[in-house]
A and B are shown apart, each in its own frame.
Chain A
Amino acid sequence: EAQVTQNPRYLITVTGKKLTVTCSQNMNHEYMSWYRQDPGLGLRQIYYSMNVEVTDKGDVPEGYKVSRKEKRNFPLILESPSPNQTSLYFCASRWGGTGGYNEQFFGPGTRLTVL
């Protein structure tokens, strides 16, 4: 089944404790992206990747890191989480590294709480 998976789905952690949220897709998509969703603010892009080893900042990259060593994986790293990073996170992928009018497929979401 074609899908985007994220782990963990739920996470409660404490300020400053490094964490990684994994994202994997099995559709051989070039493009992958991370978003956070907060009430009243919609979906805001954190980082995106057009292909392996190519990443770039979205609208709200502060406090986050990403890497794209393999085509299928795009982990989101919070080196020192803070309470303002409490949010619902979505990973997404689509076909077409540059251009391509293709829909994004979203993962199921990761609800993160930072105490």
Chain B
Amino acid sequence: GENVEQHPSTLSVQEGDSAVIKCTYSDSASNYFPWYKQELGKRPQLIIDIRSNVGEKKDQRIAVTLNKTAKHFSLHITETQPEDSAVYFCAPRDNQGGKLIFGQGTELSVKP
């Protein structure tokens, strides 16, 4: 079946440093690549997404890059702040978008 893997599972950085989380997928039909952020005790929320006809998308301090040939996409957070501390999930999907497999999550800790 389809496989989605996220790395690393935990990431600890100093405030101001950059953080990168990678998501690898197996379904070649995937063409939509979102990242969700889940703060402690809260629901997941979309923070950035990219479609397969775009290689990179940036929104202030966060960016997503896509390598469709290698079947992976990455979340980049620059100038990290304590409020970036959360669990981040990827959830690539195809055009139908019915059945979904989330990555197992990356717990990011930003130390002041």
A-B contact count (CB 8 A): 60
Collect the chain A residues with CB atoms within 8 Å of residue B98's CB: 31, 48, 50, 56
A42 contact from B45, B49, B99, B103, Cβ within 8 A: B103
Interface of B is mostly: loop
Number of interface residues of A (CB under 8 A): 27
The distance in angstroms between the C-alpha atoms of A33 and B44, with both chains bound, is 14
List the B residue with the shortest CB-CB distance to A6: B43
Give 27 pairs: A residue, B residue, CB < 8 Å, sorted on A.
A33-B100, A35-B102, A42-B89, A42-B103, A43-B105, A44-B102, A45-B99, A45-B100, A48-B99, A48-B100, A58-B99, A58-B100, A90-B44, A94-B97, A99-B96, A100-B97, A101-B31, A101-B32, A101-B51, A104-B34, A104-B36, A104-B44, A104-B46, A104-B91, A106-B43, A107-B43, A109-B43
